[in-house]
Amino acid sequence: MATTPNSVKVTLYKSLNGRLKSHQDCAHGLGIRKIHRSVVVIDTPENRGMINKISYMVKVEEV
């Protein structure tokens, strides 16, 4: 997958089970489906908002 200079790698480290529906929706919106899986997303304000909302479940790395 080609990365752009302003992209971030997001990895899910905690389960989505038992979380608020809005937090589950944020994870799915970012494309994260399973624990310990990573996705590379473009660093936009919309994606940053979703990442900030579920920051207790994910680890973020600059790519």
Yes or no: say if 42 and 4 are a contact pair by the CB < 8 Å rule. Answer: yes
Which helix H or strand E contains 45, and what residues bound it?
Answer: helix 45-53
Fold (CATH) for 7-62: Ribosomal Protein L30; Chain: A, (3.30.1390)
What distance lies between CA 8 and its chain's CA centroid?
9
Report phi then psi at 46, rounded to 5.
-65, -45
Sorted by where each begins, the domain ranges of the chain are 7-62
pLDDT per residue as tens digits for the range 43-60: 999 999 999 999 999 999
Q: How confident is residue 5, by pLDDT bands cut at 50, 70 and 90?
A: confident
The two most distant CA atoms of the chain are separated, in Å, by 35
User: How confident is the model at residue 4, as a pLDDT?
Assistant: 64
Confidence of residue 3 (pLDDT cuts 50, 70, 90): low
Tens digit of each residue's pLDDT (9 = 90 or more) over 7-39: 999 999 999 999 999 999 999 999 999 999 999
